[in-house]
Structure 1
Amino acid sequence: MAAQELLNARILIVDDQAANVLLLEEMLKAAGYTQVFSTQDPTTVCALHRRHPFDLILLDLQMPVMDGFQVLEGLKANNANDYVPVLVITAQPGHKLRALQTGAKDFVSKPFDLVEVKTRIHNLLEVRLLYQRLANQNKRLEAEVLERTAELRESEARYRSLTELATDWYWEQDHEGHFTKVSGPVLEMLGLRVDALAGSEVAPADDGWDETQRQALQARINARTPFLDEGLSRQYANGVQKHYRVSGTPMFDAACNFVGYRGFGVEILG
């Protein structure tokens, strides 16, 4: 992480004592920090943070009107899903555990050692900025996923349209095997209901379809496996025999859950 990135972090000092505020401001500016802000009124902290979020808040616990614990509660309520690094400053050792339980990320004791304070500030800012990087990266990934999903849906629509145009018939089934889409002259070409072809409805015994081939086709669909150019034949009463090539593939959603099956068929001419 670049040092300048840390030095450009937004830091807020909250202390009702002007001398303490001045000491911390001088220390931070001498260390090279460029965006140091302060307030002696703890009631304004939450509003300030909402308006322009800080990367680190240095918070005194013992203040009149509103103490540091109340400030921590307010920050937590307003930023439940955000990482708000707060370094508390206290002269009471017994306050440390309560402060950490209330949402503080670290603490220093009064009278504080300036080297220790600078080290703890540096460490907290590193964590904060890494957290921000991760959050920004997650947002970019989410945007990419949405973009890719839209592209996939568009490709899916193009594929379906082209498939319907290039084949004699096309079908889609849901995960229970019910037909949700059928296109093409199915009844005219096959002379029976598509449900009967797929086996979910009993076809007439003399329908002329090769039962072995039809059972093999249904087995592939039931197994949710893709297949290509599966042969299917039908013998008509007048002696005419027609042959078809049938292909199919399972469909899955974005979470890789099986949602159905699609397939298409063409008559083999000549």
Structure 2
Amino acid sequence: MILDEADILNARILIVDDQLINVQSLAELLTAVGYTNVTSTTDPCQVYPLHYKHKYDLILLDLQMPEMDGFEVMELLKTDATESYLPVIVLTAQPEHKLRALQAGAKDFVSKPFDLVEIKTRINNMLEVRLLYKKLEDYSRSLEATVAERTAALRESEARFRSLTELASDWYWEQDETGRFTKISGPVLDMLGIDVEAGDLDASRIAGWDATEHAQLHARIAARQPFIDFPFSRTAPDGSQRHYRVSGEPMFDNASHFIGYRGIGVECKPMVLSDESFKAITR
């Protein structure tokens, strides 16, 4: 992140001092240097509402003021939940106040009477840090918004995919690298005779599965190959034959490590013909 001179010179600056002469001298100095957005107040009670409204990039704050001193002003500024960085340089003629001011949240200090070189340097440095901090905050918010937007789009895409697979199939499934079901949609476990309550989700333990078909599908999975409409059958506990077709594809993580399979399946139900249809076919 790079700042140019215009970024610094266009920064919003507020001068706070109950002595009008100090306000005027600082304002003239900053204007002479090239700062274009300088405002001021001699009333410390106005600092919080002004900053809340304008979000100054820098506040030059006198410590010794009537009604509300600079320490009280900083405490009030820190109550703003939207402000995570207190952009304050304190103005003080008392050296013993410098440490206390820094502990109170000030980022730097300038001694009175003002040294022109010192104050210009400290203001420039402070604004550079402040503006870079704001750019970083803006970038973070933009990145978070982008991630949230892409996450929402991904979830919407997944929802559409699930909806389509549910319309085109009896079940959607995912398995981990060991062959255990990790995600299912539809009555797949009941159809395949897997005991959910016993916690046995191992697809290799489907009761009544034809051994030859099982070996063929296992070979494809071992080779990490996709399969489309793979037919298999199983004998149900009542002795009836159930026939299915299943399609699946391997899944890999970002490091290209195999993490399982996902796919869809349908039960191939026998066609029941009406008498009229049967007669039409056999004519």
* Both structures adopt the same fold (TM-score exceeding 0.5): yes
Indicate which of 163, 172, 186 corresponds to 1:182: 186
Contact 1:170–1:264, Cα closer than 8 Å, also in 2: yes
Higher radius of gyration, 1 or 2: 2
Aligned residues: 248
Contact 1:11–1:37, Cα closer than 8 Å, also in 2: yes
CA distance in 1, matches of 2:186, 2:100: 66
Partner of 2:145: 143
CA apart distance, 1:129: 1.0
CA apart distance, 1:263: 3.6
CA distance in 2, matches of 1:106, 1:7: 19
In structure 2, relative to structure 1, the CA distance for the partners of 1:125 and 1:199 (3 Å cut) is same
Partner of 1:83: 85
Partner of 1:255: none
CA distance in 1, matches of 2:98, 2:134: 26
In structure 2, relative to structure 1, the CA distance for the partners of 1:209 and 1:67 (3 Å cut) is same
Contact 1:60–1:88, Cα closer than 8 Å, also in 2: yes
In structure 2, relative to structure 1, the CA distance for the partners of 1:203 and 1:163 (3 Å cut) is closer
CA apart distance, 1:5: 1.6
Contact 1:251–1:262, Cα closer than 8 Å, also in 2: no
In structure 2, relative to structure 1, the CA distance for the partners of 1:168 and 1:31 (3 Å cut) is same
Contact 1:210–1:234, Cα closer than 8 Å, also in 2: no
The amino acid of 2:248's aligned partner reads S
CA distance in 1, matches of 2:162, 2:207: 33
Indicate which of 4, 7, 23 corresponds to 2:6: 4
In structure 2, relative to structure 1, the CA distance for the partners of 1:99 and 1:203 (3 Å cut) is closer
CA distance in 2, matches of 1:203, 1:211: 13
Partner of 2:107: 105
Contact 1:62–1:68, Cα closer than 8 Å, also in 2: yes
In structure 2, relative to structure 1, the CA distance for the partners of 1:36 and 1:81 (3 Å cut) is closer
CA deviation digits over 1:29-55, x for unaligned, max 9? Answer: 101111111111111111111121111
User: What's the Cα RMSD here?
Assistant: 4.1
The amino acid of 1:158's aligned partner reads R
Aligned residues with identical type, % of pairs: 51
Contact 1:13–1:39, Cα closer than 8 Å, also in 2: yes
TM-score w.r.t. the length of structure 1 is 0.74
In structure 2, relative to structure 1, the CA distance for the partners of 1:113 and 1:201 (3 Å cut) is closer
SS of 1:77 mapped into structure 2: coil
CA distance in 2, matches of 1:206, 1:118: 83
The amino acid of 1:128's aligned partner reads R
Indicate which of 26, 29, 46 corresponds to 2:28: 26
CA apart distance, 1:162: 3.1
TM-score w.r.t. the length of structure 2 is 0.71
CA distance in 2, matches of 1:87, 1:35: 17
CA distance in 2, matches of 1:166, 1:212: 23
Gaps of 5+ in 2: 254-259, 269-283
CA apart distance, 1:108: 1.2
Gaps of 5+ in 1: 221-225, 253-259
